Chain A
Amino acid sequence: MDLSRRLEQVAVVGAAGKMGSGIALLLALELGYRGLEQPDRTFILNLVDMNDAGLQGLVRYIRAQAAKDGEKQINRLRALFRDRPDLVDNQDMVQEFVFEVLLRLRTGRTLALAEDALLVFEAAFETEEVKQTIYRDLAARCRPETFFFTNTSSIPLQGLSEACGIPGRLIGFHFYNPPAVQKLVELIRPRDCAPELAGLAGELATLLRKKTVPANDIAGFIGNGHFIRDGLYAIREVERLAPEAGFVPALHLVERVSRDFLLRPMGIFQLIDYVGIDVFELITRVMSRHLGEDLRSGLLERVLARGIKGGQDSGGSPRDGFLKYLKGKPAGILDPESGTYAELAGPWFQAAEAKLGPAPEPALSWKALSRDPAAPARLDAWFQALRGMDTLGAGMARRHFQASRATGLNLVRQGVANSPEDVNEVLKLGFFHLYGPITDYLA
């Protein structure tokens, strides 16, 4: 059965979540255009989630985003609606397109909604227990030819498909957040993956204008294989520096170095907050269980025990985690003992900044470099300067770089990634790093 036929009946499970809603949007738009191009066929997108309010929010989100997409693709719409004399203005056509997109959506709380689906995308909560329950249920309900695309970012697939009775029918199709924007999909083929499914996954990625990087079926894959260890390295650095510097200044130093010295789009603790401390911690558990490597952290557990989880609210604004946010920007640092936040100002802040020392000259930022065609040469000069600086910040940057590089190299050595290029690609596309970890800048 070809992809075109399968797209007539699609389901997203966990559709109201952060990742699920992005995946639902991508599919809804694709089915919207497809429906206009092939008016004699019916395309249905079943959106399943336990959360009714979330599903309503999802439909609103798809409505708003479909209008934006229709506006961007107005020439395509004008061509598609050429034979509709009732649609003349751009506005008429965009509104009609939004209606066509919404027409394809069916929402509901039970997996019964997915039983006719020929393609099921699953973006449920990241625990094996939850995923197993869902797939066992789906295995009983869906047709034998249905294929399953999981968005898991950490759980090995072979065991999951065997345990749930869907051997060969499950593939890892790991979008990055937000799925509608991020170009990367990490593609994980479990050992028994049907060749037809692998082919369809490649075809689907092209259709959704995603770039795939293959990762092997080892817990954490490439993205989390690097991110989790990078985060844990940062936590250990804080714990190493804290006895002398104090916890808050230590976290500030590590955050500053990871963002402003390594020139990343956000500091490592802001990234952990963005993903969600709870999600990060769940992934450390999954990876620890499967890899026989202790990736757990007492600090994470202590912070979570205080109910501090990070993540985002329904409007996409960051919730407080290791950092406090004001208007979306970091404004304070958590003291896990008291559960309060220290403002990024005052004597402690100035002392920490003085201790850190200056960044290399001329000043560079991730934002400016990300749009600068001369970025490689500037990065070269930057890291050249960092090599020669004898400051706390430069030393921390060198250590962090080397740890990140070692993690990248280990992913290749352990067979998670097929090549250093694949590791670099995931970090560049999925995490918006300006350079991959396996480079020689500070090696």
Chain B
Amino acid sequence: MRPMPKPVFLAAGAYTVSLGPGRREFNPRTARPGLEHYIREAGRAALAQIGDPALIDEGVIGNFMAARFNRQGHLGSLMTIVHPSLEYKPALRVEGACASGGLALATGIKSVLSGLAEVVLVMGVEVQNTVKALYCADYLAGAGHYEGERKDGPAFFFPGKFSERAGAYAARIGPAPARNAMARWYRNAVEHARLNPAAQEYHNTVPDLMAQGLTPPNPKGFTEHLNLFDCSKVSDGAAAILVASEAGWRSLGLAREDVVQVAGMGQCTANLTSPPADLTELTTSRMAAAQALAQAGIPIRAVGVFEVHDCFTISGLLSVEALGLAAPGGGAELVLGGATARAGECPTNTGGGLVGYGHPTGATGVRMAVDLWRQLTGRAGDCQVPLDKEHGIMVSMGGNDRTVVSLVLRR
């Protein structure tokens, strides 16, 4: 694996509240902010951290399904509402299901690597609470193979798909450890989210999270192997971060301690039309993370903070295995032992992750980068964990492990 052709950095990250069920201010029966509000808020929060916004060369925005959730396409053009200086500059929307944010980062990074841009504003957005969860499931099912699997698939399509993975995992390691580890993942997610004022679970006051996480699944009403607490919620939110060359961030008036370097990037795509070969493995995630680590030239043990795509608690368990933190089937034990909690040796999803912070799908990959950037630059507030290692890693996954972007970031 060749190293990055030239140094690329991330700076000035920001994200909005993840609004949806769980937040006190969320009321499904009253009008709520829309797509433009989130784009404006996250974008401007990023721009507020830099000198001259006119120095931004390009915009990239990750979004999955605004065309259905909000009846709005053409989001690249919509980016210009963030600042007038974006007018008449290149901007585009990229889509790769729930990895849309990761793809936006990859696109911005490639622009800087090409030398055609010094600073790229990378954003992600999704506003999903425009429809009930049942119809949200329809739209999100677009991340699967519509022709091949939607018609005969479950009503709640992706919960059903990851329930199959949870079932296979339980068959592999035993139902009790699998269920316990998923409950523990939920507990960690909410405990982390309680420290993050922007998180959807920030207001959660449930005393016994493990007990809640152990709620038996309801196969008739939902899925066979996942309960509602195993799932990330329906969320509205946006995130923004700048991708810049060294000359780029210097021109913005930033210092080296304000930025993190993109030490490695992995990007893999698997065939959408064929089912995963092994339900107990996130193969594409494993390959993308391995690429990113190889490009960074570090082993996984050199990484001190982790962001994984826990759209469901089972994907969290499988992700730590895909990263190589545990052997296949060993993720449950690692999580149950507390390693992925903020006080553990592999602090993971320190801002709550998808289960705790929320999952505004197109924004999630960018939000992960912001959380890593905050941790590595000491800006994570109450979520901050002590770090004696220089690296963080994120894995942004789309669909059933079909499109994956992984980044290794260096302090």
Q: Which of A75, A88, A91 contacts B146 (CB 8 A)?
A: A88
**Who on chain B is nearest to A78 by CB?**
B155
| Given A71-B134, A74-B134, A75-B220: A90 and B151 interface contact (C-beta under 8 Å) | no
Q: How far is the CA of A82 from the CA of B181 in the complex (A)?
A: 36
Q: Is B135 located at the chain interface by the 8 A CB criterion?
A: yes
Task: Annotate A76-99 by CB proximity to B: 1 below 8 A, 0 otherwise.
Answer: 001000100100111100100000
Residues in A145-165 with C-beta less than 8 Å from chain B: none
Q: Return A288 CB to nearest CB of chain B, in Å.
A: 45
Residues in A22-81 with C-beta less than 8 Å from chain B: 71, 74-75, 78
Q: How far is the CA of A127 from the CA of B154 in the complex (A)?
A: 51
Chain B residues closer than 8 Å to A78, beta-carbon distance:
154-155
Cβ of A71 and Cβ of B146 under 8 Å apart?
no
Cβ of A89 and Cβ of B220 under 8 Å apart?
no
Cβ of B150 and Cβ of A90 under 8 Å apart?
no
Q: How far is the CA of A78 from the CA of B153 in the complex (A)?
A: 9
Chain B residues closer than 8 Å to A82, beta-carbon distance:
152
Q: How far is the CA of A133 from the CA of B150 in the complex (A)?
A: 55
Task: Annotate B129-147 by CB proximity to A: 1 below 8 A, 0 otherwise.
Answer: 0001011011001000010
Chain A residues closer than 8 Å to B135, beta-carbon distance:
89-91
Q: Return A259 CB to nearest CB of chain B, in Å.
A: 27
Residues in A274-319 with C-beta less than 8 Å from chain B: none
Q: How far is the CA of A94 from the CA of B131 in the complex (A)?
A: 14
Cβ of A75 and Cβ of B151 under 8 Å apart?
no
Q: How far is the CA of A88 from the CA of B137 in the complex (A)?
A: 12
Residues in B92-124 with C-beta less than 8 Å from chain A: none
Cβ of A71 and Cβ of B150 under 8 Å apart?
no
Q: Return A261 CB to nearest CB of chain B, in Å.
A: 31
Cβ of B146 and Cβ of A90 under 8 Å apart?
no
Cβ of A88 and Cβ of B150 under 8 Å apart?
yes
Q: How many A-B residue pairs have CB under 8 A?
A: 25
Q: Return B125 CB to nearest CB of chain A, in Å.
A: 23
Q: Return B399 CB to nearest CB of chain A, in Å.
A: 17
Residues in B141-183 with C-beta less than 8 Å from chain A: 141, 146, 150-152, 154-155
Chain A residues closer than 8 Å to B150, beta-carbon distance:
88-89
Q: How far is the CA of A82 from the CA of B152 in the complex (A)?
A: 8
Chain B residues closer than 8 Å to A90, beta-carbon distance:
134-135, 137-138, 155
Cβ of B155 and Cβ of A75 under 8 Å apart?
yes
Q: How far is the CA of A74 from the CA of B138 in the complex (A)?
A: 12
Q: Return A400 CB to nearest CB of chain B, in Å.
A: 38
Q: Return A427 CB to nearest CB of chain B, in Å.
A: 31
**Who on chain A is nearest to B152 by CB?**
A82
Q: Return B218 CB to nearest CB of chain A, in Å.
A: 11
Cβ of A85 and Cβ of B134 under 8 Å apart?
no
Q: How far is the CA of A78 from the CA of B137 in the complex (A)?
A: 14
Cβ of B155 and Cβ of A74 under 8 Å apart?
yes
Q: How far is the CA of A71 from the CA of B150 in the complex (A)?
A: 17
Chain A residues closer than 8 Å to B134, beta-carbon distance:
71, 74, 90, 94
Q: Return B221 CB to nearest CB of chain A, in Å.
A: 8
Q: How far is the CA of A174 from the CA of B384 in the complex (A)?
A: 63
**Who on chain A is nearest to B147 by CB?**
A88
Task: Annotate B299-339 by CB proximity to A: 1 below 8 A, 0 otherwise.
Answer: 00000000000000000000000000000000000000000
Cβ of B138 and Cβ of A91 under 8 Å apart?
yes
Cβ of B132 and Cβ of A89 under 8 Å apart?
no
Cβ of A88 and Cβ of B151 under 8 Å apart?
yes
Chain A residues closer than 8 Å to B132, beta-carbon distance:
71
Q: Return B144 CB to nearest CB of chain A, in Å.
A: 12
Q: How far is the CA of A82 from the CA of B153 in the complex (A)?
A: 11
Which interface residue of B132, B141, B150 has the most chain A CB atoms within 10 A? B132
Chain A residues closer than 8 Å to B220, beta-carbon distance:
75
Q: How far is the CA of A121 from the CA of B211 in the complex (A)?
A: 48
Q: How far is the CA of A71 from the CA of B152 in the complex (A)?
A: 17
**Who on chain B is nearest to A85 by CB?**
B151
Q: Return A319 CB to nearest CB of chain B, in Å.
A: 23
**Who on chain A is nearest to B132 by CB?**
A71
Q: Return A187 CB to nearest CB of chain B, in Å.
A: 30
**Who on chain A is nearest to B137 by CB?**
A90
Q: Return B99 CB to nearest CB of chain A, in Å.
A: 22
Q: How far is the CA of A71 from the CA of B154 in the complex (A)?
A: 13
Chain A residues closer than 8 Å to B152, beta-carbon distance:
82
**Who on chain A is nearest to B146 by CB?**
A88
Residues in A380-422 with C-beta less than 8 Å from chain B: none
Q: Return A316 CB to nearest CB of chain B, in Å.
A: 15
Which interface residue of B134, B137, B146, B154 has the most chain A CB atoms within 10 A? B134
Q: Return A95 CB to nearest CB of chain B, in Å.
A: 11
Q: Return A416 CB to nearest CB of chain B, in Å.
A: 40
Q: How far is the CA of A74 from the CA of B151 in the complex (A)?
A: 13
Q: Return A76 CB to nearest CB of chain B, in Å.
A: 10
**Who on chain B is nearest to A93 by CB?**
B155
Q: Return B161 CB to nearest CB of chain A, in Å.
A: 15
Q: Return A266 CB to nearest CB of chain B, in Å.
A: 24
Q: Return A317 CB to nearest CB of chain B, in Å.
A: 15
Q: How far is the CA of A91 from the CA of B138 in the complex (A)?
A: 7
Chain B residues closer than 8 Å to A71, beta-carbon distance:
132, 134
Q: How far is the CA of A82 from the CA of B151 in the complex (A)?
A: 8
Which interface residue of A78, A82, A85 has the most chain B CB atoms within 10 A? A78
Q: Return A346 CB to nearest CB of chain B, in Å.
A: 33
Q: How far is the CA of A78 from the CA of B152 in the complex (A)?
A: 8
Q: How far is the CA of A221 from the CA of B8 in the complex (A)?
A: 82
Q: Return B41 CB to nearest CB of chain A, in Å.
A: 30
Chain B residues closer than 8 Å to A75, beta-carbon distance:
155, 220
Q: Which of A74, A85, A89, A94 contacts B141 (CB 8 A)?
A: A89
Chain B residues closer than 8 Å to A91, beta-carbon distance:
135, 138
Q: How far is the CA of A74 from the CA of B220 in the complex (A)?
A: 11
Q: How far is the CA of A91 from the CA of B157 in the complex (A)?
A: 13
Chain A residues closer than 8 Å to B151, beta-carbon distance:
85, 88
- What are some 25 contacts across the A-B interface (CB < 8 A)? A71-B132, A71-B134, A74-B134, A74-B155, A75-B155, A75-B220, A78-B154, A78-B155, A82-B152, A85-B151, A88-B146, A88-B150, A88-B151, A89-B135, A89-B138, A89-B141, A89-B150, A90-B134, A90-B135, A90-B137, A90-B138, A90-B155, A91-B135, A91-B138, A94-B134
- Counting from the closest, the 4 A-B pairs by CB-CB distance are A89-B138, A74-B155, A90-B138, A90-B134
A: residues with CB less than 8 A from B are 71, 74-75, 78, 82, 85, 88-91, 94
Given A71-B132, A89-B141, A90-B155, 5 more A-B residue pairs with CB atoms under 8 Å apart are: A78-B154, A78-B155, A88-B151, A90-B134, A91-B138
